[in-house]
Amino acid sequence: MRKFVIFYTLDVIWIVFFLSLAIMKNLSTQTGLLAIEDLGRFVLFSVLCFVGIIAFVIVVIIQLVYMKKK
């Protein structure tokens, strides 16, 4: 049970960190090539945030199955 709590804590930190980075990149007022670079980083940070959310859902499902077996 403790390993799930550790994972949840790390995963929430992961999601909040990359979500905040994505929001900061989205607020950029640059134009031209710099704007395209910021858009690329925004997409990268958004995808990393999404990966964290998917991992969170998978571990919740694994924990529910694990608890049903006990």
Question: What are the tens digits of pLDDT across the range 10-26?
Answer: 999 999 999 998 888 88
- Residue 32 Ramachandran class (φ > 0 left, ψ -120 to 50 alpha, else beta): left
Tell me what pLDDT residue 37 has: 85
**Per-residue pLDDT tens for 26-61?**
887 878 888 888 888 899 999 999 999 999 999 999
Tell me what pLDDT residue 27 has: 82
**How far is C-alpha 50 from the geometric centre of its chain's CA atoms?**
5
Structure tokens at 46: 């958004």
Kindly give the interhelix angle for 33-69 and 2-26, rounded to the nearest 10 degrees: 160
Q: Please report, for the chain, the start and end positions of each structural domain, with discontinuous segments joined by +.
A: 2-69
